[in-house]
Amino acid sequence: VPASSAKLLEDDKLKEIMISDIGAEVLLARLKQSILSCKEFANFVKKRASAEADHYQSLKKLSRQSRESIKKPECRQGTFLAQFDKVVNINDKLFDVGQSFVTKLIIMNDELVELANSTAKSRKTIKESHTRHEKLLIDAEQLAEKAKHKYDGLCEDLEKVKIGDPTKNKFGFKTTKSTPQHEEELQRKVTSADGDYKQKVLTAQRLRSELINMRRPETSKELQELTLACDAAMSFQLQRYASLHEILALNNGFVISPLKPTLPSGSTVSSNPSLKEIAAKIDNEKDFFDGVIGPGRSKRLNRPSIQYRQHPSLTKSYPSASSSFSYINGSRTTQPTTSTMTSSSSPPQSIMSASTAGARFPPGTSVSTATAATNINNNNINNSSIGPGHLLSSIPVFGTPLEEILDAEAATVPRIVFQCTQAIDNFGLEVEGIYRTSGNSKQIDEIKALFDSDSSSVDLLNPSNNLNDIHAVAAALKLYFRSLPDPLFTHELYNEFLEGAKLTDDIARRDAIHGAINQLPDANYTTLRYLIFHLHRVQEREAVNRMSAGNLGIIWGPTLLGADNENVEHMAAMGKVVETVIASAYVIFDAD
């Protein structure tokens, strides 16, 4: 407290007011002001801590998403990526500094709330004690006042008797007592009332003296000390609040630009680079060189020049016995010698026929379905990493976490997903109501049992008499995803997907769902990508199978998000999530 202000507490006028009849009332009102100010201060600190926590959480989320997005091969690589990653790391350090600041604000809020509550409790105790003593004095003064009225009334009656009352026997009533007797009786009453009056006045005077000389000074002192203690604590917390901001700014500065210790010789010791130094290390020329030279190493720079080649029928020339042979996709093709080699932009017919011959189709399958199956078979051959591995697993497929299945099968997509989608691509793309119509329950159970016992031996591309219902295959695939302990879209991201689905703008909704998909674990991401491209092929045949992206979303939404089917609003949002992903499959996922 400043020296000039401390003397004010010894002011005589202040002391006079504090021990007056209104002193306690004034001090209680002043203390209440401090308590209310303390509560408002605590509320401000609490809201500030909440706002800072939200800010730093958003900063951390932004850093994570930006780091994942910029590392995609479509973005610039090289020194820019490396330095950008370091800049984001500094943002993460700023998050740690901010979290410490938020924690201290929360502690400060708790202390201010405790200060306000304890002060209010003490104020209530002092007020009750003061009110009790004040009431004793007021009651005593009221009793003394009543005794005075009684005493005065008896004295007036006695005086009337002594001088004679002209109204006596005015109406002719007879009195039972003579005047001397009446006067003697009144004298006794006056004497008794006088003693009672004196006693009550003495009691009131004693209580007032005790209140003024002892009770009020004690109460005033307690209220003064309690008020000053509360005010001092609030002043300390406000100074602490200011210090926390200084520490926050200082620590942020050290993170952004660390101090460089200076040696006695005057040189500086190398330390962590500053944010500005990190950004200055980007080598644009090197990134340009690496970005252009990289694809040149893996791709043919120029097409071969076109040359005139006379047809063999005109020259009567035939392949010699020294011609070499190679096998492509199981088909043998003639590879001419150097002297007769020609360039071609399309694969040999033998390759296409071999691929087509390898797929079996049930009666009634259209040519377009067969063509789609051929394309899928070729894709599977060219992209063997998508297909399941050949490791045998003793664990059941249904109900086992996705990561464990992929580890056991040494694949990026579970074998059951691979087999079921292959079968539907081959036999079910043009089947009306695929995924909507219920399948044969016995065949569904049999498919489940086959995969649970030995998934590597199941081949749904060769249907048998026991397994010939394509709807059962579709139902088994949905059953598999429903049985996952953690849904494909994960419980953790459930709310984020639903919030994205509620957006009315198509682009904003797609981008929000895309951002949530990028946060999925690798196993979930690769499986979802494979499944969505399959569902996209299904909805492309909507004119035949009557399964649009919206219909597929309604069916697959609860299956992939794993939510309570009783919430109608959530059901609609889940369907919207899957519908959006199917419709934007080639925007959200890389088709390569």
Please report which confidence band the pLDDT of residue 197 belongs to, taking 50, 70 and 90 as the band edges.
confident
Token duo for residue 317: 């020339």
Whole-number pLDDT of residue 173:
46
Q: What is the pLDDT of residues 79-91, one digit of tens each?
A: 888 888 888 888 8
Q: Write down which residue in 233, 256, 279 finishes a domain.
A: 256
Cα dist. 16→27, 351, 511 in Å? Answer: 13, 112, 73
Q: What share of the chain has pLDDT > 70, as a percent?
A: 77
Mean pLDDT is lowest, of 223-232, 263-272, 491-500, for 263-272
Residue 339 pLDDT: 33
* Number of C-beta neighbours around residue 318 at 10 A: 10
Last residue of a domain, which of 230, 256, 282?
256
How confident is the model at residue 272, as a pLDDT?
Answer: 80
Domain boundary among 256, 284, 307: 256
CA-CA distance, 284 to 289, in Å (whole number)? 9
Q: pLDDT at position 177, please? A: 53
Plot region of 391 (φ>0 → left; ψ -120 to 50 → alpha; else → beta): beta
- Please compute the mean of the pLDDT values over residues 533-548 and round it to a whole number: 95
Residue 312, domain member (yes or no): no
CATH number of the CATH domain containing 525: 1.10.555.10
**What average pLDDT does this structure show over 171-197?**
73
- Do 203 and 61 fall within a single domain? yes
Tokens of 382: 């060219």
* Same domain for 553 and 412: yes
Distances (CA, A) of 508 to 58, 76, 114: 18, 25, 46
- Predicted pLDDT of residue 301: 67
| pLDDT at residue 563 in the model | 67
Residue 437 in domain: yes
Q: Per the domain annotation, does 309 fall within a domain? A: no
Whole-number pLDDT of residue 337? 32
- Residue range 246-264: mean pLDDT, rounded: 82
**Is the pLDDT assigned to residue 403 strictly greater than 90?**
yes
Instruction: Indicate whether 402 and 543 sit together in one domain.
Output: yes
- Residue-wise burial string across 333-349, b where 16 or more C-beta atoms lie within 10 A, e elsewhere: eeeeeeeeeeeeeeeee
User: What DSSP element (H or E) covers 332?
Assistant: strand 331-335
Q: What is the pLDDT of residue 363?
A: 34
**pLDDT for the residue numbered 258:** 85
Note the pTM of the prediction, 2 decimals: 0.42
Predicted local confidence at residue 287, as pLDDT? 83
Q: Which one has a higher pLDDT value, 567 or 151?
A: 151
Question: What CATH number is attached to the domain comprising 86?
Answer: 1.20.1270.60
Answer yes or no: is pLDDT of 133 > 80.
no
pLDDT in tens, 405-446: 999 988 999 999 999 999 999 999 999 999 999 999 999 999
Does 392 score more than 70 pLDDT?
no
Q: Is it the case that residue 484 has pLDDT exceeding 60?
A: yes
Tell me if 470 sits within 8 A of 424, measured CB to CB. yes
Range with the poorest average pLDDT among 8-17, 291-300, 524-533: 291-300
- Between 154 and 6, the higher pLDDT residue: 154
What does the pLDDT read at residue 309? Answer: 64
Confidence of residue 264 (pLDDT cuts 50, 70, 90): low
Which pLDDT does position 558 carry in this prediction? 93
Within 13 Å of residue 47, how many CA atoms lie on the same side as its CB?
A: 5
- Whether residue 393 is found in the same domain as residue 244: no
Q: In this predicted structure, what is the pLDDT of residue 588?
A: 94
C-alpha 350: how far from chain center: 57
Say if residue 190's pLDDT is above 90.
no
pLDDT value of position 348: 31
Q: Is residue 7 part of a domain?
A: yes
Between CA 397 and CA 453 the distance in angstroms is 8
> What's the number of CA atoms in the CB half-sphere (13 Å) around residue 243?
8
579 assigned to some structural domain: yes
Per-residue model confidence as pLDDT tens digits over 439-483: 999 999 999 999 999 888 899 988 877 788 999 999 999 999 999
- Could you give the number of structural domains in the chain? 2
Q: Of 28, 226, 236, 243, whose CA–CA distance to 112 is shortest? A: 236
Give the tens place of pLDDT for each residue, 357-390: 333 333 333 333 333 333 434 344 334 344 444 4
Q: Does residue 216 lie within any of the structural domains?
A: yes
pLDDT tens digit sequence for 301-329: 676 767 666 555 554 332 333 333 232 33
> Residue 174: inside a domain, yes or no?
no
pLDDT of amino acid 170: 45
The pLDDT assigned to 535 comes to 97
CB 319 within 8 A of CB 336: yes
- Highest mean pLDDT (candidates 103-117, 334-348, 380-394): 103-117
- For residue 335, being part of any structural domain is answered with no
Q: What is the extent of the structural domain holding 565?
A: 365-588
Q: What is the mean pLDDT of the chain?
A: 79
Q: What is the band of 298 on the pLDDT scale with cuts at 50, 70, 90?
A: low
